[in-house]
Amino acid sequence: MNYSLGKENNSSKNEEPCTNSNVKCYHVHKAILSVGPRRSDYFATLFKQSHLSEFATNTSHIQLEPSAADSFPALLDYIYTEKMIKFSAKNATALRHLAHYFGMRPLWKQASAFIRGDFSLDTAATYLSEAIVYHDEKLENASIAILAENIEEINRRTLTKLSPSSFERIFASPRLKCRSRKLSDIVLKYCQTQGGSVDMSLLMKCTRSEVMPSVSRKAALPLLKVAVAGEQKAGVDMSNTHNVLRARCVETCVEEWKETLAKPLMALECRDKNISRILGASSLEHRDLPLTIQVELLEKALCAAKVELDDVKAELLFREEQVEEFTKQGKSTGKSFE
């Protein structure tokens, strides 16, 4: 956003609309901007440069980021009055940037002190976004560190508002602390919210096996669909690669086959006894997957079910043998176990 700052000696400080919707004009006084305890060293120096075009036109055009543009009136109020600026997480970084840009050391110190006192897990995401805008690497790194260390405690809505690059940096941080399955829930929520902004590269970095060796039952099937969609969009096939998200999602779906695959089918059966309609129902979540993956899931689920059934049979057989043994012992001692 462009700001046109007109320096007029005989007018009061006020905002005046300009014909360009992206430009705001402020009429100010040279003496106030360049003199006194709250002066701007930038303007004090500028006003001495008679060879510059600004000297002839009494106008200075300044380009500012949106948050700095929003905070600019507060900066002028600070110069013109003795009022203290009302800092917040949303404006403190921008005001510190403006103070540095315009050479206002006292204001810079005030903004820095506020940020130090206000910086916390609750405000870190806001400070991260603003620090990126103003290239404040120290504040960026501090924000990434606290978010990575406490990612399980952060509000999901806050995380989903982060840019893909910021989200990736959190997951790449050595300070990242989070249970694997909880992490899979976080990634799923982010992908569902951001949609097309999450490419295959970001997805692979955030779900690498070192940080996410397993996925939660709740996230497994929808995250599998996200992974497959990402592969299709990127034009790659990772079906034969076992160290990727797809394999871990399939593994969890199979381990939890009763919940992820059987339960939805049983729910349909309760409402509709027609087997043909049930088997052809498109409302089942796994039906959105390519047929090859559907077959893979169901085949592995059948194998898992057979293993469970064999275990149950073995347990029943063992108990029957125990009952027979106790019965024989009872008869031999003249006691009844009925």
For residue 17, the cross-strand partners are 24
Q: Answer positive or negative: Cα dihedral of 139, 143, 144, 146.
A: positive
- Per-residue b/e over 282-297, b at no fewer than 16 CB within 10 Å? eebebeebeeebeebb
Residue 235 CB neighbour total at 10 angstroms = 7
297: tokens are 């899931």
Q: 112 in a domain, yes or no?
A: yes
Cβ atoms within 10 Å, residue 104: 24
Tokens representing residue 234 in the block: 């990127």
Query: Which candidate, 230, 143, 152, 229, places its Cα nearest to that of 186?
Result: 152
Q: What is the CA radius of gyration of the chain?
A: 32
105 falls within a domain: yes
What pLDDT tens digit does each residue of the chain (338 aa) get?
Answer: 333 454 333 434 445 545 555 778 888 788 788 888 888 898 888 877 766 666 556 677 788 999 999 999 999 999 998 788 999 999 999 999 999 999 999 999 999 999 999 999 999 999 999 999 999 999 999 999 999 999 999 999 999 999 999 999 999 999 999 999 999 999 999 999 998 899 999 999 999 999 999 999 999 999 999 998 888 888 887 766 655 888 899 899 888 887 777 766 666 556 655 555 545 555 556 667 878 888 888 888 888 888 888 888 989 988 988 888 888 887 776 655 44
Residue 37 in any domain: the answer is: yes
- 223, 226, 231, 235 alpha-carbon torsion, rounded to 10°: 180
Q: Which pLDDT score is estimated for 235?
A: 83
Residue 95 belongs to a domain: yes
- Residue keyed to tokens 């600004």: 54
User: How many of the other CB atoms lie within 10 Å of CB of 330?
Assistant: 13
Residue 310: per-residue pLDDT = 86
Residue type, position 25, single letter = C
Tell which residue, 134, 135, 162, 137, has the closest CA to residue 148: 162
Residue 237: Cβ-neighbour burial (10 angstroms; 0-12, 13-18, 19+):
exposed
Strands 59-63 and 14-17: unpaired
Is residue 318 in a domain? Answer: no
pLDDT for position 331: 72
Q: What is the tens place of the pLDDT at every residue in 266-322? A: 665 566 555 555 455 555 566 678 788 888 888 888 888 888 888 889 899 889 888
CA–CA dist 119, 268 (Å, integer): 51
Give the closest residue to 150 by CA, choosing from 184, 185, 120, 192: 120
Range of the domain at 73: 1-118
Nearest CA-CA partner of 192 in 150, 157, 216: 157
CA distance linking residue 127 with residue 134, whole number of Å: 10
- Interatomic CA distance for residues 167 and 159, integer angstroms: 8
Is residue 166 in a domain? no
User: Which residue carries 């009925």 as its tokens?
Assistant: 338
Q: Helix, strand, or coil here: 5?
A: strand
CATH number, domain at 56?
3.30.710.10
Residue 81 main-chain phi, psi, to 5 deg? -120, 175
Q: Where are the beta strands (DSSP E) in the chain?
A: 2-7, 14-17, 23-28, 59-63
Q: Is residue 47 part of a domain?
A: yes
Span between the terminal Cα atoms of the chain, in Å: 89
Q: How many residues does the chain have?
A: 338
Strands of the sheet with 23-28, listed across from one edge: 14-17, 23-28, 2-7, 59-63
Beta bridge pairs of residue 6: 27, 59
| Beta pairing partners, 59 | 6
Neighbouring residues of 291: CB distance < 8 A, sequence distance ≥ 6: none
Q: Smallest Cα–Cα separation from 212: which of 233, 237, 190, 243? A: 243
* Counted domains in the chain: 1
Residue 314 domain flag: no
Smallest Cα–Cα separation from 160: which of 201, 200, 125? 125
